[in-house]
Structure 1
């Protein structure tokens, strides 16, 4: 278990945005402590008092010109956060024949109630599916992938329709990902869902960060109420 100071150091280290504000003394440390509290609690796995965070930030500011920002929490309500672990990813150079083959595979996986996500770019196509099906996929698509990863998990945030026209929804979620220094492998979205594909080892941290950061739809007045934990 890490300390509050260690958790803050991990969050701040290498984050140019936070370092700039800290170095130029732009932030209110009390508000900054409130903003960073969910990220710190996710890393330390325990509840943290804002006063303790404020004191730790003050010590960091006196010790060196590198630390956090004063942005306040976003008024974003989520319906659920779910994790689907044990996924494999393949990215191929795009061609009409390959696209048709992957579309068929996509349908076959969903007929079996499996997980499958297909993303088409201008030059590449990425398919993500249950890792137990990776050998079947590799046999079905003999083309050599340009990238492969067998340790992937999806963290999916679902939000109410009323947020559709509100600006900054993706930014609010991405900000939490960035503050935890989590690398995003892929992103996929629909009308009211955004899925973040990350390394299996980062899935729990990202889930806990979303869980602690945003309010539940049934209680929008409470920004500290945890989300219903869902796992697929």
Structure 2
């Protein structure tokens, strides 16, 4: 059975930015209730008082605030080392029968230079390699017979060490990436391991991105 509370909750959940703002208590609930009233009435099939919608929003905002404050923020306050690297290039190649052997050759080259940044990820159809721009000629030579679909330079990375409990708390990455989106940060790549993630952004956005992630510890 549909209720005002359930319809309001589903509506808010479908609006990620609105959900976060509601959890932080920065939205005028009366104004919001007026805006969403027509949709609530349409789904419920009858007239609804603004006061009833406001009460549903108040209950929901309290729940959202509890979840964010007592679970996600606890993890974010314990963010560990934040490492920034610059002068990177992002290559995207189509997956082939030979590309793994090419990556093995590249790793051998990189092992001789400990200062080189390297990370990669593989999807169903594509393989991404992000590496220091000092390795540009090496990469182009090794992968010259592979199909390159995209190459982006002038990139930087931010690697973040997360507490071990990040794997049992839902919403950690959503919370982080939402704040990066608010600042207009374009994520070229996201690479993660169990307790660490790395984002690749343009060099012109690295300062803002770093501040966003650093400020998470003070929330």
Shift of 1:164: 2.6
Cα distance per residue 1:34-89 (max 9 Å; x no partner): xxxxxxxxxxxxxxxxxxxxxxx99xx9xxx9xxx996663322012111111011
| Residue of structure 1 in register with 2:193 after alignment | 190
Q: 2:93 & 2:165 partners in 1: Cα distance? A: 37
Answer whether contact 2:82 2:158 (CA < 8 A) is retained.
Answer: yes
| Residue of structure 2 in register with 1:181 after alignment | 184
> Secondary structure of 2:151's partner?
strand
Q: 1:146 & 1:31 partners in 2: Cα distance? A: 45
Go from structure 1 to structure 2 and tell me whether the alpha carbon gap of 1:166 and 1:27 turns closer, same or farther (over 3 Å shift).
Answer: closer
Structure 2 stretches lacking a partner, 5+ long: 1-14, 36-60
| Residue of structure 2 in register with 1:82 after alignment | 83
Q: 2:171 & 2:22 partners in 1: Cα distance? A: 21
Shift of 1:106: 2.4
Answer whether contact 2:94 2:126 (CA < 8 A) is retained.
Answer: yes
Answer whether contact 1:154 1:196 (CA < 8 A) is retained.
Answer: yes
| Residue of structure 2 in register with 1:161 after alignment | 164
Go from structure 1 to structure 2 and tell me whether the alpha carbon gap of 1:78 and 1:182 turns closer, same or farther (over 3 Å shift).
Answer: same
Structure 1 stretches lacking a partner, 5+ long: 1-15, 33-56, 215-222, 225-232
Cα distance per residue 1:136-167 (max 9 Å; x no partner): 21122113410000111111111121333222
Q: 1:111 & 1:31 partners in 2: Cα distance? A: 53
Residue 136 of structure 1: which of 134, 138, 144 is its match? Answer: 138
Answer whether contact 1:106 1:118 (CA < 8 A) is retained.
Answer: no
| Residue of structure 1 in register with 2:55 after alignment | none
Answer whether contact 1:106 1:117 (CA < 8 A) is retained.
Answer: no
> Secondary structure of 2:128's partner?
strand
Q: Where do residues 43-192 of structure 1 align in structure 2 (5 Å cutoff)?
A: 74-75=73-74, 76=76, 77-113=78-114, 114-142=116-144, 143-192=146-195
Shift of 1:17: 4.7
RMSD: 2.8
- TM-score, normalised relative to structure 2: 0.65
> Secondary structure of 1:134's partner?
helix
> Secondary structure of 1:78's partner?
coil
Q: Relative CO higher for 1 or 2, CA cutoff 8 Å, sep ≥ 6?
A: 1
